[in-house]
Amino acid sequence: MRVTNLLTYNQFLDNYRRSNFEMNKITTQLSSGKKISDSYEDSLVYSDSMRLTFEHTSLQQIQQVSSQAQAFADNSDQILNQFTESLEQFKTKLLQANNASQDKTSISAIANDLKRIKEHLVTLANTSINGQYLFSGTAMKNEPIDLQGNYHGNDKNLIAVVSPGIQEAYNITGEELFLGRDNDFNKKITTNVTLYNQSELHPNIMKEGESIQSKEVFLQPSDTIRDMVGDTDSDQTNDSNAYFYVYGKKPNGESFKSKIELSTDKSVQDLLDKIGALYGNTENTKVVDVSLTKRGHIEIKDLKEGNEKMDFFMVGAIDRSGGNGANVNDIDDLTTNPDVDIIEFIKSDFTPSPGIDQRVAYDRENFTKLQDTLTSNVSQIDKDGNFAKLDTKLVDTSGVDSLDGVTFNISLKDVNSASHTVTIDLSSNSTFTVDGNTYTIYNSDGTQTQADQFTYRQLTDIISMITSNTLPASDTKQNYDNAIIEARKSVESGVDYRGRLYIKDKTTQNSNLEFSIYDKDSDDFTKPNSPVLTFQANDALVIDKPSIDLFKDLDEIIKSVEEVRFNPDGNKEVNPRLPGIDAAIERLDHISTHVIRKHTKIGSISNFFQKTEDRSMFLDLNVKKLKSEVEDIDIAEALVKFNQININFQAMLSSISKINSLSMVNYI
């Protein structure tokens, strides 16, 4: 009897605990709505729940990031829409200015309108949202465009993580928008001296007959060289040959220099064909297109899209005495012979290096000065088409395999107006010489610089030293470095964003500096591959090229309107290198196309992030559903189960109660 009671008691206690545990568990599930509260209750449910929770959190973050990125892109899209509309207004005004019926007062008013539109474009470029500038790259606290049109942001994109391991940019940088490059555009250059048919302009001299009226007739390709260069009489048989001295850069960056000889009965087209041959044209293939415009200018177009290294300069010469004085090896000799007439095709307001005649100077020109800063006008471009930086080697922008043996002449006035003559000799042990004193050019590791190791940083360091007149105390690496440090306190020299050299005088706001640098063999036509590098040049004017400098380009367009310059005119005293309104329209079309492309790009970026957000929301709903199936209980099922357990529990209690109420009396 005692054994039976103990067994019954133990069974009761076990059933009681089990039922109570199950009821408490279901009660907890009903109150929380979850299958488990702790990981030990069901490791599989816990593992799946954690995985789905992580996915849900990730998708929530992607939604948030995508929403923010889309908002940023949408703001950029709206600004670029206004930007495009303003450029359309700019073009409308420019076309009005190109109407020959406009008087100067009307054109002046149009120029003022263009200035206001440009100012509005600057305002749009400097748009900020919540203190963050849209077009500064990651330098979002920097106002991207200053009053001079200079860019102060960077070229780095804002990045959003849209899924594990996948990142997408959601901005358009100012570097890309305002200073970008379109590799499907061609470089096109032009001369700026208008060529007239001299036979029509001076008929009383060049034609037989009496009182023939002079006419300004633009030169045509079918006209003769005599029509181009003129004559001193009407006899077409007594003229000596004409010579044309051509400097240039081929589309691949290779420099060339050549002399073209033509009899005066040859056509202008013959000259154009020979110029094309210098760039690599053959009977079967054309590298460049050389043409004479209806306005009498020579235009050259690089037929390969994306190139912008091509360059051109030319002067013509003819000996009026009938001799051979126009045939020289040193181009400077043309200027010393009184019988030689020099025909200019390109003119500028540059100042030539001392002792050089401007007509034949080409690259022997002083840098352009504006207050305390001198700037070159030729961009240095490496073999990959990138603008040079300080660590770029000069050989990589030269178009030749080696600079060994190349010498650069420098003529300058330093910060104290003292004149100096400098040479830089590139060799296995490169040196520079100032007024007869020679100094070694050192690498950072103390070794002597070889010609093909010479960088723009080293060049600009030398420029700082010689223009500040701060030279090494002796020819040692330590003194060389000390001189550079001291020189930089007075003169800053470097390479700008377009690969152009600049020199900034820190000692005054109106500098006394004068500076020119050029290849020693630039004037020698027996050396056809020099100058290997040009820094400042009276070269052809650019009508269009793959890269843009948006606000500087607009400034030049406005100047053409202000000067009422419809076409290039090198005979103007003020801004002779302006391309003119006709060329400005072509350049503006390129700028507009560039901006429209960026507008389209930011629109696609916005759409991408909208789709990313929509996709993540859809996936998140699926994850939530799966998570609910894994974690959440079925309320009805739980209630039924609870009721079953509760009934069993109550029945068990009732049975135990009856058993406990039994005594010996019940068995008597």
Asked if 453 and 393 touch (Cβ cutoff 8 Å), the reply is yes
pLDDT of residue 1: 44
CA distance 297 to 196: 10
Closest Cα to residue 484, out of 504, 502, 469, 464?
464
pLDDT in tens, 15-39: 667 766 666 666 765 666 665 666 5
Q: H helices of 261-344, where?
A: 268-279
Asked if 598 and 177 touch (Cβ cutoff 8 Å), the reply is yes
pLDDT of residue 67: 86
The DSSP call for residue 546 is: S
pLDDT in tens, 275-294: 999 999 999 999 999 999 99
pLDDT in tens, 201-243: 999 888 887 668 899 999 999 999 999 999 988 888 889 999 9
Q: H helices of 98-135, where?
A: 104-125
Buried b (16+ CB within 10 A) or exposed e, 334-344: bbebeebbbbb
- Dihedral of CA atoms 548, 552, 557, 561 in degrees, nearest 10, equals 180
> Residue 32 has which token pair?
């929380």
The DSSP call for residue 245 is: E
pLDDT of residue 53: 72
> Residue 58 has which token pair?
């990730």
pLDDT tier at 166 (50, 70, 90 boundaries)?
A: confident
Distances (CA, A) of 139 to 128, 134, 158, 168, 312: 12, 10, 10, 18, 39
Element (H, E) at 299: strand 298-302
CA distance 417 to 277: 45
In the β-sheet with 541-544, what is the strand arrangement from edge to edge?
Answer: 288-292, 298-302, 188-190, 541-544
Rounded to the nearest 5 degrees, what angle is found at the Cα of 298, between the Cα atoms of 294 and 300?
Answer: 115
pLDDT in tens, 471-506: 999 999 999 999 999 999 999 999 999 999 999 999
pLDDT above 90 for 393: yes
pLDDT above 80 for 178: yes
pLDDT of residue 255: 94
pLDDT tier at 376 (50, 70, 90 boundaries)?
A: very high
Q: H helices of 243-341, where?
A: 268-279
Closest Cα to residue 330, out of 530, 596, 34, 107?
530
Q: Between 628 and 625, whose confidence is greater?
A: 625
pLDDT above 80 for 424: yes
> At CB < 8 A and 24+ separation, what contacts does 480-484 make?
480/439, 480/440, 480/442, 481/442
Segments of 329-406 assigned E as strands: 340-344, 368-370, 373-375
Q: Between 219 and 622, whose confidence is greater?
A: 219
Lowest mean pLDDT among 60-69, 273-282, 368-377, 659-668: 659-668
What average pLDDT score do residues 86-95 get?
96
Closest Cα to residue 381, out of 499, 249, 460?
499
Strand partners, 318: 242, 341
Element (H, E) at 419: strand 419-425
CA distance 574 to 207: 35
pLDDT of residue 631: 58
pLDDT above 60 for 434: yes
DSSP 455-500: BHHHHHHHHHHHHHT---SSSSHHHHHHHHHHHHHHEEEEE-TTS-
Q: Between 422 and 37, whose confidence is greater?
A: 422
Distances (CA, A) of 420 to 241, 432, 510, 645, 646: 40, 13, 20, 107, 108
What average pLDDT score do residues 620-646 get?
68
pLDDT above 50 for 352: yes
What average pLDDT score do residues 563-573 get?
93
Q: H helices of 469-580, where?
A: 477-490, 550-562
CA distance 49 to 230: 93
Average pLDDT, the chain: 90
pLDDT tier at 643 (50, 70, 90 boundaries)?
A: confident
Taking every pair of Cα atoms in the chain, the longest distance, rounded to a whole number of angstroms, is: 169
CA distance 179 to 551: 9
Residue 437: CB atoms within 10 A of its CB come to: 10
What average pLDDT score do residues 316-326 get?
94
What average pLDDT score do residues 460-479 get?
96
pLDDT above 60 for 254: yes
Distances (CA, A) of 28 to 16, 20, 35, 558, 638: 18, 12, 9, 79, 11
pLDDT above 90 for 110: yes
Residue 412: CB atoms within 10 A of its CB come to: 25
> Residue 540 has which token pair?
């052809």
CA distance 445 to 24: 79
| pTM > 0.75: yes or no | yes
Dihedral over Cα of 226, 232, 234, 235: its sign: negative
